[in-house]
Structure 1
Amino acid sequence: MATDLAPPEVKAVPAPVRRTRMSPRTALLRYRWLYLMVLPGLAYFLVFKYLPMRGLTIAFQDFVPFLGYEGSQWVGLKHFEELFTGPDFGRLLGNTLILAALTIVFAFPAPIVVALLLNELRLGVLKRAVQSLIYIPHFLSWTIVASLTYLLFSVDYGVIAGLVHGVVGGTRVDYVAQAEWFRPVIVLQTLWKSTGWGTIIYLAALAGVNADLYEAARIDGAGRWRQFWHVTLPAIRPTIVVMAILTSGHLLDNSFEQIWLMTNSLNRSVADVFDTYVYYVGITQGGYSYATAVGLFKGVAGVLLIFGCNWLAKRLGQRGLF
């Protein structure tokens, strides 16, 4: 006996919505206020970053200010040859790389550690108070930081130097003058001044972690350490990778103000870096072309480091910067 079966109802598939491409004029009119907000930033980079690049041409000239760019003699790679074959290049590169390595080992992970510790605080008042206290040093100039360092570690009137001498005994140590103490002092200054401010980015990344992931981990029996290792760290790993790529471009950039204020005749052998060397050669000795060549070398090295770290991050399965 045949049975009448109704055919299944077929639902019509909606046609894909075609989006018409917006013309540049329409986009400018519709988002004019957003583009207007971008203009100050673009003007800043144009005036202070891109227009001065014309001055890089003097790295290939024997530049004379009275003759200008057009009248100065072109010498090709003469200044780069002097830089790479000169007696100062090895010392400058070694001092710069050692400070960069110390920055990577101590200064880069410090904000991550502090942000993770602050994230574990459950008392909101205490958390905000600690955040405010560790942010304050960022707003102090390097001149104030150097002055405080001398007040604390100077051999004559340093408070900490006096306490160490009173407890340990023996001869007094001039921590701010001796070459072997220069790098530890620089690292301590960097940690004290920049760690708190650097935690802002990582705290923002931690605030975006889904709370359901922690609840699921607790249901599965994970303790605080397991939650930290399997939930917290993977959540902020992309932020850490991006910050590492950005930091790599500044490995050869040591803070000129910080190094300059802490340099003296006794520690100059370990304190001279590319930034201070450019000042010595370019400003005090009038070697504008040679100093520009040194700065151009630093800039090219920074670009190569950024691209190299970005490539390495992608090879390791992380999301790069571009």
Structure 2
Amino acid sequence: MKNNWQLYVLILPAVIYFIVFNYFPLYGIQIAFKDYKAASGIAGSAWVGLKHFENFFNAYYFKRLLSNTLLLNVFNLLWSFPIPLILAIFLNQIKSPKRKRFIQTSIYVPYFISTVVLAGMLYIFLSPTSGIFNIMRTSLGMKAVDYMSEAAAFRTIYIISGVWQTAGWGTILYMASLAGVDTSLYEAAEIDGASIWQKIRYIDLPSLVSVAMMVFILDCGKLLSSNTDKALVMQTAGNIPTSDIIGVYVYNVGLGSGQFSYTAAIGLFVNLINFILIMSVNKLSKKVTDVGLF
């Protein structure tokens, strides 16, 4: 510690941040097992045990909320996980530094668009009267469709817009891994007459396995956690059957009705399932690929 005190000082702000905002709030978990009253405080509120969990499991919308959240995140994982990996491999094949930087910048930009602005763009582009997609449909003699009010279209719109917004940013880790590959491997492969696809298969992919598996494990640990802000601003009366996910339900019930103990129980349930998922996938990954987070 004496020899490396500068390093400890350097990480001190990060340690303080996590203690204050991630560990101190754990004290409030107990309200999931209490009938929390603001006037009584956390310690003074009556203990009710698993009452709130039972109420959630027996709720009329429980199955719909669980299935909507799980389906949305599973489909999102199936598309959002491989696309950044594929993009990174293709970007790595571009030899011109200027062209490569231009493409990278172009696909990074959508990540910095706020959720509300993105939702506004979707409403404009998918408008049944002036949206570009419906203009194309009507020009071909087809009937205009109000996509944002179609329950069947919600997941597709959510996932495609999410991939467009985050795929470029998701390539950063993979590009960093590819940048660390010894260039002599590519030179040797070219001398041996290897094609581009062979270099991707035998050099790029093996070097990306460890990073890809870590990203996959982390993504699996969020299968019951969705982008609540995005789902909320995209939700309409017509798409509620598919857009009604756990995060939106917690927002409406917790802030709208003030049922803090009930929604705390839901949040604890979601985090517990996510913890089990990430531990299970991590264990499976270590067995299959010998790569794990811990």
* TM-score (norm. length: structure 2): 0.97
C-alpha deviation, 1:101, in angstroms = 1.2
Structure 2 counterpart SS, 1:309:
helix
Matched, 1:281 2:253: yes
Q: Which residue of 2 aligns with 1:85?
A: 58
C-alpha deviation, 1:216, in angstroms = 2.6
Deviations 1:86-127 (A, max 9, x none): 221110110011111111111111110111111111111111
Spell out the pairing of 1:34-45 with structure 2 (5 A cutoff): 34-45=7-18
Between 1:199-208 and 1:248-257, the stretch displaced more is: 248-257
Spell out the pairing of 1:225-244 with structure 2 (5 A cutoff): 225-244=197-216
Q: Distance in 2 between matches of 1:207 and 1:186?
A: 32
C-alpha deviation, 1:164, in angstroms = 2.5
8 Å CA contact retained: 2:119, 2:230: yes
C-alpha deviation, 1:50, in angstroms = 1.0
Matched, 1:96 2:69: yes
8 Å CA contact retained: 1:83, 1:294: yes
State the AA in 2 paired with 1:50.
Y
Q: Distance in 1 between matches of 2:81 and 2:134?
A: 27
Matched, 1:128 2:98: no
Matched, 1:158 2:148: no
Q: Distance in 1 between matches of 2:95 and 2:186?
A: 15
Matched, 1:170 2:142: yes
Q: Which residue of 1 aligns with 2:185?
A: 213
Q: Which residue of 2 aligns with 1:146?
A: 119
State the AA in 2 paired with 1:183.
R
Structure 1 counterpart SS, 2:128:
coil
Q: Distance in 1 between matches of 2:159 and 2:188?
A: 40
Spell out the pairing of 1:199-210 with structure 2 (5 A cutoff): 199-210=171-182
Q: Which residue of 1 aligns with 2:40?
A: 67
Matched, 1:250 2:228: no
How many residues of Structure 1 are paired with residues of Structure 2 in the alignment?
294
Q: Which residue of 2 aligns with 1:295?
A: 267
Q: Which residue of 1 aligns with 2:3?
A: 30
Q: Which residue of 2 aligns with 1:191?
A: 163
Q: Distance in 1 between matches of 2:142 and 2:98?
A: 44
Q: Distance in 1 between matches of 2:176 and 2:98?
A: 18
% identity of equivalent residues: 38
- Over the aligned positions, Cα root-mean-square deviation in angstroms equals 1.2
C-alpha deviation, 1:160, in angstroms = 2.3
Q: Distance in 2 between matches of 1:206 and 1:80?
A: 46
Unaligned runs of 5+ residues in structure 1 are 1-26
* TM-score (norm. length: structure 1): 0.89
Deviations 1:191-216 (A, max 9, x none): 11101111111100111111122223
Q: Distance in 2 between matches of 1:88 and 1:47?
A: 35
Bigger Rg, which one = 1
Matched, 1:321 2:279: no
8 Å CA contact retained: 2:137, 2:143: no
Say which structure, 1 or 2, has more relative contact order (CA 8 Å, 6+ apart). Answer: 2
Q: Distance in 2 between matches of 1:141 and 1:244?
A: 25
